[in-house]
Structure 1
Amino acid sequence: MIESDNDELNTNLPEDQETITRVSGMYKDWFLDYASYVILERAVPAIEDGFKPVQRRIMHSMKDLDDGRYNKVANIVGHTMQYHPHGDASIADAMVQIGQKDLLIDTQGNWGNILTGDSAAASRYIEARLSKFALDVVYNPKITEWQASYDGRRKEPVNLPVMFPLLLAQGGEGIAVGLSTKILPHNFIELIDASIKHLKGKRFTILPDFPTAGIADFTNYNDGLRGGRVRIRAKISQLDKNTLVITEIPFGTNTSSLIDSILKANDKGKIKIKKIEDNTAADVEILVHLPAGISPDKTIDALYAFTSCETSVSPLGCVIEDNKPLFIGVSEMLRRSTDNTVQLLKSELEIKLGEFEELWHFASLERIFIENRIYRDIEEEETWEGVIKAIDSGLKPHVKHLKRLVTEDDIVRLTEIRIKRISKFDIDKAQQKIDALDEQIAEVKHHLSHLIDYAIAYFARLKKEYGEGRERKTEIRIFDDVDATKVIIRNTKLYVNRIEGFVGTSLKRDEYVGDCSDIDDIIVFTKSGKMMVTKVDSKTFVGKDIIHVAVFKKKDKRTIYNMIYRDGAKGPTYVKRFAVTAITRDKEYDLTTGAKGSTGLYFSANPNGEAEVVTILLRQVGSIKKLKWDLDFSDILIKGRASKGNLVSKFPVKRIELKEKGVSTLKPRKIWFDDTVRRLNVDGRGELLGEFKGEDRLLIINQSGYVKTILPELTAHFDNDMVVLEKWIPEKPISAIYYEGEKERYYVKRFVIDNENKEEMFISEHDKSHLEIVSTDWLPVAEIVFGKERGKEQKENQHVNLEEFISVKGIKALGNQLTTDKVKHINLLDPLPYEREEDGNDIDDEDLDIDDLNQDSEPTLF
């Protein structure tokens, strides 16, 4: 039974009856105390030094134990427990996290692997010591504010005097009561550069840099504030036509979790893979083997869409300042850290100046005391007071140049000088010491008067001493959104019952339509002229007498529907052509005028805008003279789906026959390459590559000496070492000058691609071989700049017409030797003029899904 804080509630109650206890006050006080404790003492780092309490106590303990040698982590953890009122497991885990960031702790043993997710060995098996960087920037007991430890037995730092934006370099994450923090890690060198810019009054921008590398889009980073979002992708490349290789992974994942997500996506049928190999050691290497016939480019996009190969991180900048949580952006964190570093440097200089001045003061007193033999004045004094007074009197004539008054403590120190030191006193050396101290004092005063310049030099020194090997790991790129419906593997079969009006994946006894996925939409047309788009399901009623069903592609302007319908039960017949680009799901649309009894007479779906020719046959009614004629759909303009259409006949139509299959009425499309996202597009972004028909291809040449052609699929991926991307003209030669590693000479070759479906290497495979220049001009010209050879005159630059120099040969030919002289470098000049008849094709900026090219669709006749 709990005693109540209200005695009136306990009066006149039997002994065996429980009392009523008011706990509202307890909740109010205890919960707030607990929440404050978790926020301030456990989860959120302080802005002054970037440490949470457990991290600060670990670093303090390591300094206590530091003797330059490694200490067992278990020993460090035990020592930290003198300051930290929690268990050893939490301390050990926090220490491993610091050690894995490879900045403050020099580790030895198995500390785990952030790439694979392997945990560290037990703390009794691993060792640690402070890194040189930590000893340089984290500690200075003279400018450290101290407080009693939790049990009052020892002193611990309130904050460590960290003179570096450590919180931004390491990042930090924590979940408290009612709030959380997630500060992403940033690049060491970029932080120093930003600090220097801030000190110079310049603007700066800092972006995260992750230890797992990867590719990141920081468009919506929002300076690390609440509401920001960072998209991070694994680095995936194509090893060969059936293998992908993942070499870098997103922050917050590891190879195990990444592989698990890929396997789950494969099990769900969203992607299709053959097997996965994890060869990760010091570097990530995950091989994803694909079945035959699966597109590597589409699989890369599918990995981004359905697995942990793309993750999203939401930063939240929350720190502790003056024992209160503070929400600020990373730019402000850097400014405050840099300004704090300046103040710490100032305090350090002021302390150093005081120490130097104190040394100078006593060195000067010592010289006066010995040089003027003042120590002899105390020989006859019998009392201590007399000794002090005698020395003070002896010093007075000589201390006018001193920087402060002589105190009794100074005189006491003089009396402690040993006779041996007095007897060996060297006036010249004493003066040299004083002069050296004068120089040091002047230097410190100069630094104090030029504090910003001193701070800039300090940061520059840190960058020079510790910046090597800390270059940016994460590639900054703007991502193009992946359309999941275009890259998902269609692993489900779609069926239709045309008469009853059902579509779905469970109607296995009915007509097979095609493959689909569980995230697809399907479009359905019925004989009555109705249209509906609905999501794939096991069984869905859409309307009786279905005439066409297919997977629906949003914003598809290339698929054109040709339709002839009767308006009403006895009305005229109309023809229309239209595209369906966007609709409301599960809404029924009427493609006729809506008159009762309207019905479709002819329908065809044409994925590339084909326009066929049909024969119209009328019924013999009255004195109709013309009962049969041809209708060419290419004469019908493409309009909106709600349009009425063109009149075919006022008289009853007997039947419609397909006379001739049509060709596409859509014009070649323009394709651009956006170098920012390194993707193709039809939206006018980036560099125009040309106008493409269905059979046209792209030419790709890489710096590594590989050449290939591909269809211009919007899902295609491009390597970073790509040097040529253009529309491929099969008869146009490719000219290249390369250095042949084995022969140690430059060679020229010209070739055309014979096998458009094969990636081939056109330089030799020797380790030292490399591509110098490559050109797709008809008449390229190169300039050779010769090197100076000892004992010979400098040879003038030579221009070489590559078309005259060598004829077109096979892609595997060695080529002709360019020169035997020493070459400094080779330049590609403007080509010679060349006239060629171009294909005269009009262009249109319409969207196109390359996967839909050259597909046939049979019309529906009634």
Structure 2
Amino acid sequence: MDEHEEGLGEAQQHPEEQPQDSLVKVTGMYKDWFLDYASYVILERAVPSVEDGFKPVQRRIMHSLKELDDGRYNKVANVVGHTMQYHPHGDASIADAMVQIGQKDLLIDTQGNWGNILTGDRAAASRYIEARLSKFALEVVFSPKVTDWQLSYDGRKKEPIHLPVKFPLLLAQGAEGIAVGLSTKIMPHNFIELIDASIKCLKGQKFVIYPDFPTSGIIDVSNYNDGMRGGKVRVRALIEQLDKNKLVIKEIPYNTDTGSLIESILKANEKGKLKVKKIEDNTAASVEIIVHLPNGISPDKTIDALYAFTSCESSISPLGCIIEDNKPEFIGVSEMLRRSTDNTLALLKAELEIQLKELEEQWHFSSLERIFIENRIYRDIEEEETWEGVISAIDKGLKPHIGHLKRAVTEEDIVRLTEIRIKRISKFDLDKAQQHLESLEERIAEVKHHLAHLVEFAIDYFKNLKAKYGKGRERKSEIRIFDNIDTTKVVMRNTKLYVNRAEGFVGTSLKKDEYVADCSDIDDIIVFTEDGKMMVTKVDSKTFIGKNIIHVAVFKKKDARTIYNMVYKDGKGGATYIKRFNVTSVTRDKMYDLTTGKAQSKVLYFTANPNGEAEIITVMLRQVGSVKKLKWDLDFADLLIKGRGAKGNIVTKYAVKRIELKEKGVSTLKPRKIWFDEVVRRLNVDGRGELLGEFRGEDRLLIITQKGVVKTEVPDMALHFDADMLVLEKWNPKKPISVIYYEGAKERYYIKRFLIENPQREESFITDHAKTFLELVSTDWRPVAEISFVKPRGKEAKPNQEIDMEQFISIKGIKALGNQLTADKVKNIDFKDSLPYEEPQPEAVEEIEVVDEQKVGGNDDNKPEPPTEDDGQATLFD
């Protein structure tokens, strides 16, 4: 019993002597017991060692597997029981740790149901599954002659302090553990890339390594921070579009399984963040989750919503904590690899030195044996009667012949000579003995050469590992830079917004009042009132803005395409002003005045125009005094678009009777320039990537894929583009598409030219035969192809042939087979420079440009957003 326990015991034995409210100090317990416990958890359970990459339980499992290794499978229950000789814990913790090693498919050759990291299914009971060491583990992990040993916890057995691992195993497998006061999370990395990085490290070259996850997926490592604290890896599922109503998830993020992923999608669906019809899970050896969408739901926006609101995207924060010299240390993965490489170099050197010593000992004794038998020294001991005399006689007989030996002859050497059998002496072959000595000398020279060129030897060692075990271990996770998804643009708007204009309330609970639009609970709404006030506020059940609301809409941040046309009276009896403005950024719940701020200002006319439409209005004045012109037209297209704080242009100083809409307007904004960023595979209006062109509201994108599918899309920043995309450009409906493809059923190359007849439909322009494939596609006006032919046996090769595709075939329907290109066997087909063609120029359209108020004293951020197809909403006030 320790002091603390004794103190408690005395208190229990003599309760009458203890004050009722006495305090018992536990400082000593926290200082000693808790510190011991924390040290134990950190060093002996949760954090791996940098020397071999193992936690203690993993190291003991590997040691037990080696002791049991006979080339056959062992029941996992048997291995667990054997490991308990070294590991002072229950069988469950050992079995779980062993399953985790087995699922990483590197060190253990498994048999039976070891669970599934994709579905989250657990392994079968340890009595049903079997394991043995993999060939890789046998070669890389064990080397008893260079292993340091210690006694097991009960002193009955010896176990390794560290296993002599000659590979960056910690980085290959990864590690995760929660200790007391610290934790570790080291990401798994790619087998081949680790070997390549180790070789670069040995050569003194720079290297960079990034995670690679067994569940595959897409990863963004731009903030990896070398795997240290503060870093972050974003991981996404691989989602593709099967058709307009189906998505397929083919790969999932690390630390996620299909069950939890599907559950997160269903929860997002219940909360109205996205909308799905049903989900099919066809996962077996690989992931296949089919997500069925209702009619009318955008697949591209649903993909973004899956990333934004479900487990299809996750963020992992690495933390590189390891144990070295019995102390925890925080280092990056690059430093881990350097230390592993240095450790491998030291282990290879130690093994070579041991091998050299053993070879020299073999050479020494083989030389002694030859001298002993060839010179018949064994006869000198026939007359000796004592052991000392025998030793002395052999030593005397050897002395004239041992000048070339590399060390002195010891008594142990002489004792070994006496143990040679008569049969061996009688069958001794001098030539074979000489050949054996020469082979030993060659091996000794080889080992010395390796020691003299240790770095080159280590490089060859790593190259050999890569050649033997690298097949099938290529990178699984695709590295890509992610775009940031704006949740307000992809959230499903499943709530209805209402307004009570007279009383000045907006909200989702006003179901008896006027319906405005569909919205979501994360949306902002913009509201304008008759007295010239404006506010942006969060969607709520009921919010008071101000009486006499004239316009309500869902607010799009940074939307410079929506233009507000307004005419207002500047205070009581003041002049009337006209203005055009946009609202790109505001402070939420702040009331803005769009007039000059005078009392009794009033909005006389207001429209919201999603694509910058400019209408013509008629202004009518009251009959007062000598005013002669009582009616005239104003065109909003004559006004510059400015910020919300602009005063505007004066219309009249006289009283306005009313304002009427005379003619609806068309967009006056310049067409948007749209770029395609190949890195994130998304469209943008910020100038990143390749310029696709200038787009108006009716313009579309042309997309052609390697599968022979063509479609057109309205440019939308939410669009996703598959990796097999061949053509992405602004669509010209008059320009033909020229195609050369191999038709599988007829086993011939065909050529066709067509126009897209239905831009709303996605269509295949090649046949669906299994052997059919697309060879070339061009969107030039007059493309030219060159064919080279296979040389027939015994004949001259047919000369290359140029094909003017415009002359070869006329424009036909998209489903037409086309014309056969040639009956000869084709070696290669390539496009040459297209023939010149002058495209007709469209008629010029007068345009105006949005004024950036940041440059003229405002606070707006006028980055253009994609136009919508909604009509402007006009409001008229008498």
- Given candidates 258, 273, 277, the residue that maps to 2:276 is 273
Quick check: 1:287 aligned with 2:290? yes
Q: Which runs of 5+ in 1 are unaligned?
A: none
Partner of 1:100: 103
- Given candidates 658, 661, 665, the residue that maps to 1:662 is 665
Partner of 1:256: 259
- Given candidates 605, 608, 623, the residue that maps to 1:605 is 608
CA distance in structure 2 between the aligned counterparts of 1:71 and 1:13, rounded to whole angstroms = 59
Alpha-carbon offset, residue 780 of structure 1: 0.5
CA distance in structure 2 between the aligned counterparts of 1:206 and 1:317, rounded to whole angstroms = 14
Whether contact under 8 Å (2:561, 2:867) holds in the other structure is no
Partner of 2:874: 858
Partner of 1:823: 826
Whether contact under 8 Å (1:738, 1:763) holds in the other structure is yes
Partner of 1:404: 407
> Cα deviation per residue 1:704-753 (whole Å; 9 max; x = unaligned)?
11111111111111111111111111121111111112222111111111
Alpha-carbon offset, residue 5 of structure 1: 7.5
CA distance in structure 2 between the aligned counterparts of 1:282 and 1:180, rounded to whole angstroms = 33
Partner of 1:437: 440
Instruction: Indicate the SS of the match to 1:219.
Output: coil
Give 1:45-444 correspondences, 5 Å limit. Answer: 45-444=48-447
Amino acid in the other structure paired with 1:509: K
Q: Which runs of 5+ in 2 are unaligned?
A: 851-861
Give 1:746-761 correspondences, 5 Å limit. Answer: 746-761=749-764
Amino acid in the other structure paired with 1:852: T
Give 1:632-781 correspondences, 5 Å limit. Answer: 632-781=635-784
Instruction: Indicate the SS of the match to 2:822.
Output: coil
Alpha-carbon offset, residue 22 of structure 1: 2.8
Alpha-carbon offset, residue 4 of structure 1: 7.3
Amino acid in the other structure paired with 2:128: Y
C-alpha spacing 1:143/1:638, structure 2 compared with 1 (3 Å): same
Partner of 1:799: 802
Alpha-carbon offset, residue 861 of structure 1: 2.9
Amino acid in the other structure paired with 1:384: W
Whether contact under 8 Å (1:691, 1:843) holds in the other structure is no
C-alpha spacing 1:484/1:326, structure 2 compared with 1 (3 Å): same
Amino acid in the other structure paired with 1:24: T
Amino acid in the other structure paired with 2:658: R
C-alpha spacing 1:484/1:16, structure 2 compared with 1 (3 Å): closer
> Cα deviation per residue 1:211-263 (whole Å; 9 max; x = unaligned)?
11111111101110110111111111110110001111111111000000000
Whether contact under 8 Å (2:561, 2:866) holds in the other structure is no
Partner of 2:786: 783
C-alpha spacing 1:855/1:56, structure 2 compared with 1 (3 Å): farther
Amino acid in the other structure paired with 2:344: T
Quick check: 1:809 aligned with 2:809? no
CA distance in structure 2 between the aligned counterparts of 1:646 and 1:604, rounded to whole angstroms = 17
CA distance in structure 1 between the aligned counterparts of 2:223 and 2:432, rounded to whole angstroms = 65
CA distance in structure 1 between the aligned counterparts of 2:201 and 2:790, rounded to whole angstroms = 45
Whether contact under 8 Å (1:657, 1:861) holds in the other structure is no
Whether contact under 8 Å (1:226, 1:314) holds in the other structure is yes
Partner of 1:555: 558
CA distance in structure 2 between the aligned counterparts of 1:779 and 1:3, rounded to whole angstroms = 96
Alpha-carbon offset, residue 160 of structure 1: 0.4
C-alpha spacing 1:592/1:816, structure 2 compared with 1 (3 Å): same
CA distance in structure 2 between the aligned counterparts of 1:525 and 1:517, rounded to whole angstroms = 20
CA RMSD across the alignment: 1.9
Instruction: Indicate the SS of the match to 1:205.
Output: coil
Q: Which moved more, 1:814-823 or 1:352-361?
A: 814-823
Alpha-carbon offset, residue 660 of structure 1: 1.4
Partner of 2:858: none
Amino acid in the other structure paired with 2:372: F
CA distance in structure 1 between the aligned counterparts of 2:427 and 2:743, rounded to whole angstroms = 76
Alpha-carbon offset, residue 849 of structure 1: 4.2
CA distance in structure 2 between the aligned counterparts of 1:315 and 1:678, rounded to whole angstroms = 26
Whether contact under 8 Å (1:224, 1:329) holds in the other structure is yes
Give 1:417-496 correspondences, 5 Å limit. Answer: 417-496=420-499
Alpha-carbon offset, residue 17 of structure 1: 5.2
Amino acid in the other structure paired with 1:50: G
CA distance in structure 1 between the aligned counterparts of 2:287 and 2:729, rounded to whole angstroms = 33
CA distance in structure 2 between the aligned counterparts of 1:504 and 1:807, rounded to whole angstroms = 59
Alpha-carbon offset, residue 811 of structure 1: 1.4
Q: Which moved more, 1:536-545 or 1:258-267?
A: 536-545
Amino acid in the other structure paired with 1:185: P
CA distance in structure 2 between the aligned counterparts of 1:4 and 1:144, rounded to whole angstroms = 44
CA distance in structure 2 between the aligned counterparts of 1:289 and 1:22, rounded to whole angstroms = 64
Partner of 2:853: none
C-alpha spacing 1:814/1:522, structure 2 compared with 1 (3 Å): same
CA distance in structure 2 between the aligned counterparts of 1:631 and 1:814, rounded to whole angstroms = 57
Alpha-carbon offset, residue 562 of structure 1: 1.0
Whether contact under 8 Å (1:561, 1:603) holds in the other structure is yes
Whether contact under 8 Å (2:748, 2:820) holds in the other structure is yes
Instruction: Indicate the SS of the match to 1:858.
Output: strand
CA distance in structure 2 between the aligned counterparts of 1:249 and 1:611, rounded to whole angstroms = 49
Alpha-carbon offset, residue 527 of structure 1: 0.9
Whether contact under 8 Å (2:527, 2:552) holds in the other structure is yes
CA distance in structure 1 between the aligned counterparts of 2:732 and 2:570, rounded to whole angstroms = 50
C-alpha spacing 1:354/1:784, structure 2 compared with 1 (3 Å): same
Alpha-carbon offset, residue 25 of structure 1: 1.8
Alpha-carbon offset, residue 621 of structure 1: 2.2
How many equivalent residue pairs?
862
Alpha-carbon offset, residue 359 of structure 1: 0.5
CA distance in structure 2 between the aligned counterparts of 1:4 and 1:615, rounded to whole angstroms = 100
CA distance in structure 1 between the aligned counterparts of 2:379 and 2:473, rounded to whole angstroms = 64
TM-score (norm. length: structure 1):
0.98
CA distance in structure 1 between the aligned counterparts of 2:83 and 2:15, rounded to whole angstroms = 53
Q: Which moved more, 1:701-710 or 1:33-42?
A: 701-710
Alpha-carbon offset, residue 567 of structure 1: 1.3
C-alpha spacing 1:90/1:4, structure 2 compared with 1 (3 Å): closer
Amino acid in the other structure paired with 1:78: G
CA distance in structure 2 between the aligned counterparts of 1:535 and 1:542, rounded to whole angstroms = 12
- Given candidates 542, 545, 549, the residue that maps to 2:548 is 545
Q: Which moved more, 1:275-284 or 1:837-846?
A: 837-846
> Cα deviation per residue 1:340-372 (whole Å; 9 max; x = unaligned)?
111111111111111111111100000111111
Give 1:2-13 correspondences, 5 Å limit. Answer: none
Instruction: Indicate the SS of the match to 2:777.
Output: strand
CA distance in structure 1 between the aligned counterparts of 2:700 and 2:431, rounded to whole angstroms = 88
Partner of 1:23: 26
Alpha-carbon offset, residue 15 of structure 1: 3.8
TM-score (norm. length: structure 2):
0.96
> Cα deviation per residue 1:783-830 (whole Å; 9 max; x = unaligned)?
111122111112221111111111111111111111122211111111
Alpha-carbon offset, residue 291 of structure 1: 0.4
Whether contact under 8 Å (1:73, 1:128) holds in the other structure is yes
Sequence identity of aligned pairs in percent?
75
Quick check: 1:530 aligned with 2:546? no
CA distance in structure 1 between the aligned counterparts of 2:268 and 2:816, rounded to whole angstroms = 45
> Cα deviation per residue 1:513-532 (whole Å; 9 max; x = unaligned)?
11100000011111111111
